[in-house]
Structure 1
Amino acid sequence: MIEAIVLDWAGTTVDYGSRAPIIAFKNAFAHFSIDLSEETIRQDVGLDKLTHVRKMLPEPEVSSSWEANHPAIPLAKATEEIYAQFQVEINKVLADTAQLKPGMTDFIKFANTHHIQLATTTGYNQAMLNQILPLAAKQGYNPAYNITSEQTNHVGRPNSDMVDLALKKMNISDPAHVIKVGDTVNDILEGKKRWHNFNWRCRRGQLNRAITARIQSLRHWGA
């Protein structure tokens, strides 16, 4: 019997295509004269955003652009400055991208009808998530527990600490009665660390090449 479902936010339940973090990352790096590709950003989506910046900076095209444009500022300092700018940029787009994805209304009704608890984990920090929560609630989506890495000593995905805390708050001891839902490689890795027999499914209709390539990447990591 399914007792609970733990879901991601951007790209999974709200913000179709996970546009908010993509736009914010592109604009944050552009602020420092770095043209960041969407492909580079999507390689590590699902991480907390500070870790995501750290992961992207060593990419050759990123580090070389930084050193060319800001030779006096080391990469370690660059992480702090870009993350600070990311927070400025994400605040500009969170509200406009917080619409529930298609099918969520039916999903919420199903969960409520079957007395299934809902919790979330996310790569957003608490301040970012606090902007989304009331907007989602107005649309009928109000998970009981919403976990950020700030609640787990800043240990986020791909580790399972956020999921573990969600299960603890829901008083669930057997993870076999819980479903984890997310749209990124790091969601899959989070699930695999908590559920050793973790598997994933993707429901799809028409797929373009970019989505197909992404699914192939998820399969590589997932199962």
Structure 2
Amino acid sequence: MKQVEALILDWAGTVVDYGSIAPTTIFVEAFKSAYDFDITLEEARIPMGMGKWDHIESLGKLDSVNRRWCEQFGSAMTTEQIDHIYQTFMPLQKAKVAERSAPIEGVLPVIQRLQAKGVKIGSCSGYPREVMTELEIAAAEHGYRPDYCVASDELTAGSRPGPWMALENVNKLAINSVNHCVKVDDSVPGILEGLNAGMWTVGVALTGNAVGKSEEEWQALSASEQSNLTREAYAQLSSAGAHFVINSLADIEPVLFEINARLARGERP
């Protein structure tokens, strides 16, 4: 078989939650609620795509955050403090994900067409299992039901940017070759996950973390502002190593035609 067998899709910013708003705003809220400490939305987005505990740890190591944290608390963030922020984050995130569980415009028809052609739809996320369960239930009510889903805390080896969640999809979906899988993600750790798994990788630029605007915020921007953000998002995902970058998952079908042609010529990712 010389064609794509499976897509391994991220969730927030790729399939649901235009702009990847739900996780970002909750990080800001969790830091404030746990320790009355302020981080910006821009800072919160930097490690996006990682498992959420690792995300909090990475935020604490950012120069800007670490400097302010040390000024406020006298030392760098500890494991116990990360645990407390994470425990604060979890109920806030579970309450938020259902609100932004609707598929991004144009995405669901594409997924359904691919499934009808026999392409399997795997998925993985930086969300832990208890959050993913809430999101899967809510997304199913909108019609999105991937063939498999793995969460960031379900594998012993860890999560992104390692390949393990993507490869768990290969295992559970019984895919013949990672060369015939396409990892689609809106974050740098997610692109690296796909590359480390030996898959074709497709970056999603406009609907996800690379731009970080809700659909309403995006539409309110001037043409010049949209152009600048588009250029920056494409550059960010391309620099991470994405084989292709598209505006939205809704635009992926021509990319799959090209990948199928390259597979037929014997090419690999």
Change in Cα spacing, 1:74 to 1:121, as seen in structure 2 (3 Å) is closer
Cα 1:147–1:199, aligned 2, differ >3 Å: closer, same or farther? Answer: closer
User: What CA distance in whole angstroms lies between the structure 1 residues aligned with 2:40 and 2:161?
Assistant: 23
Q: Which residue of 2 aligns with 1:152?
A: 155
Contact 1:11 1:17 in 2 (8 A): yes
The correspondence of residues 126-165 of structure 1 with structure 2, limited to 5 A, is 126-153=129-156, 155-165=158-168
Question: TM-score of the superposition, structure 2-length normalised?
Answer: 0.76
1:65 to 54, 68, 72: 68
Q: CA-to-partner distance for each residue in 1:145-186, whole Å, 9 max, x for gaps?
A: 101133321510101111111101111131122111111101
Q: Of 13, 16, 19, which aligns to 1:14?
A: 16
Q: Which amino acid aligns with 2:122?
A: A
Q: Is the 8 A contact 1:15 1:97 kept in 2?
A: yes
Q: 1:218 aligns with which of 210, 223, 237?
A: 237
- 1 CA distance for matches of 2:233 and 2:94? 27
| Deviation sequence 1:97-156 (CA, Å, 0-9, x none) | 111111122112212220111110110000000001111111111112101133321510
> 2:191–2:203: 8 Å Cα contact kept in structure 1?
no
Structure 1, unaligned runs of 5 or more: none
User: Which string of whole-angstrom CA distances, capped at 9 and with x for unpartnered residues, describes residues 196-219 of structure 1?
Assistant: 7x4535576963534432332222
How many angstroms apart in 2 are the aligned matches of 1:86 and 1:154? 23
Q: Against the structure 1 CA distance between its residues 70 and 41, is the aligned structure 2 distance closer, same or farther, given a 3 Å change threshold? A: same
Report 1:37-186 matches (<5 A): 37-71=40-74, 75-153=78-156, 155-186=158-189
Q: Which amino acid aligns with 2:238?
A: R
Residue range with higher mean Cα deviation, 106-115 or 11-20: 106-115
Name the SS for the 1:128 alignment partner: helix
Q: Deviations over 1:8-55 (max 9, x none)?
A: 001100000000101100111122222212221221110000000010
Preserved CA contact (<8 Å) 1:200 1:222:
no
Identity of aligned residues (%): 26
Distance 1:2 1:199, change over 3 A: closer
Distance in 1, matches of 2:155 and 2:235, equals 31
Counterparts of 2:96 and 2:80, CA distance in 1: 25
Gapped regions of structure 2 (runs ≥ 5): 208-222, 243-269
Cα distance in 2 for partners of 1:161, 1:222 equals 18
- Distance in structure 2 (CA, Å) of the matches to 1:85 and 1:40: 18
